[in-house]
Amino acid sequence: MANSSAGKRDSAGTQNPPMAMTPMSFMAPAIGWLIPGAGHLIQKCYIRGALLMASIVSMFLLGLAMQGHVYKANGGDILDILGFIGDIGAGGLYILTQVNKWGEGAIAHATADYGTKFIIVSGLLNFIAVADAYHIAIGKKS
Amino acid sequence: MNLTLSHFSAAVLFALFTSVVFGITQRNTSREQIRYGLWCFPMFVGGVILAGWVMWILRR
């Protein structure tokens, strides 16, 4: 539970303020997942949102430009499953690749392998950005 | 489009983008975020160089 510590005392003995579960605490992570950085932008954190968006989108697009492979949902090799979990973190960018059938080639050279890792890591970074947007929405972080 | 990067340039770009995201998400104030991002970047790049030398030693 995200607000399980609400009203409890921490180790220093001070009272923690209760964390607010508002519509924003649901919307910010959802929009942040779909459009990297947008979870911060809708909470008026414009510079942070723009930097997150630029970093995550650039990393994903560079990965695609390096002929990186985009994993699909699969039940095969554990590394393929983990690759899919990382890729899907990019949200709307992942959906865009599936619609346009991008990143379907085999990993034929070293640069394509770097590209594959860029795509996976951009998705994982977006997961962190989504968690950060949620923390801002519930008031845990300013 | 087929972009070809060397291992080092790919690592520097990786370090740049990851440092930005880590800096923003792992610290609270703007000053701390900038400081943490600036600390992460050389750690990532230095880690790549260190790992390269370790692999060179292991290969010998």
- Looking at residue A5, its pLDDT comes to 46
> Which of A7, A59, A53 is closest to A32 using CA atoms?
A53
Give yes or no for B14 touching A (CB within 8 A): yes
Residue A139's region, left for phi above 0, alpha for psi from -120 to 50, else beta, is left
Query: Is residue A120 situated within a structural domain?
Result: yes
At B25-35, the pLDDT tens digits run 999 999 999 99
Q: What pLDDT does residue A10 have?
A: 54
Set of chain A residues whose Cβ sits within 8 Å of the Cβ of B17: 55-56, 58-59, 122, 125
Whole-number Å distance between alpha carbons of B7 and B2: 15
pLDDT confidence of residue B2? 84
In a domain, A4, yes or no: no
- Domain coverage including residue A108: 23-137
pLDDT tens by residue, chain B, 60 residues: 788 999 999 999 999 999 999 999 999 999 999 999 999 999 999 999 999 999 999 998
Buried residues in A71-91 as b, exposed as e (16+ CB within 10 A):
beeeeeeeeeeebbebbbbbb
pLDDT in tens, A74-133: 888 999 999 999 999 999 999 999 999 999 888 888 889 999 999 999 999 999 999 999
Output the pLDDT for position A13: 56
Each residue's pLDDT tens digit, A2-59: 444 444 555 555 566 667 789 999 999 999 999 999 999 999 999 999 999 999 999 9
Measured CA to CA, the distance from residue A121 to residue B50 in angstroms comes to 21
Confirm whether A38 is domain-assigned. yes
Q: Looking at the DSSP assignment, which residues form a beta bridge with residue A15? A: A9
The answer to whether the Cβ–Cβ distance between A111 and B5 falls below 8 Å is yes
Phi, psi of A77 (to 5 degrees): -65, 140
Considering only CB atoms, which chain B residues are within 8 Å of A142? Answer: 28
B54 at the A interface (CB within 8 A)?
A: no
Asked if the structure places residue A9 within a domain, the reply is no
Q: How far apart are CA A114 and CA A22, in angstroms?
A: 40
Residue of B nearest to A134 (CA): B25
How confident is the model at residue A18, as a pLDDT?
Answer: 60
A117 contact residues in B (CB cutoff 8 A): 14
**Domain total in chain A:** 1
Q: Partners of A9 in the beta sheet?
A: A15
**Distance (Å) from the C-alpha of residue A132 to the closest C-alpha of chain B?**
6
For residue A27, being part of any structural domain is answered with yes
CA dist A140 and A130 (Å) reads 14
Residue A14 zone, left/alpha/beta (φ > 0; ψ -120 to 50; rest)? beta
Nearest neighbour of A132 by CB, restricted to B1, B2, B25? B25
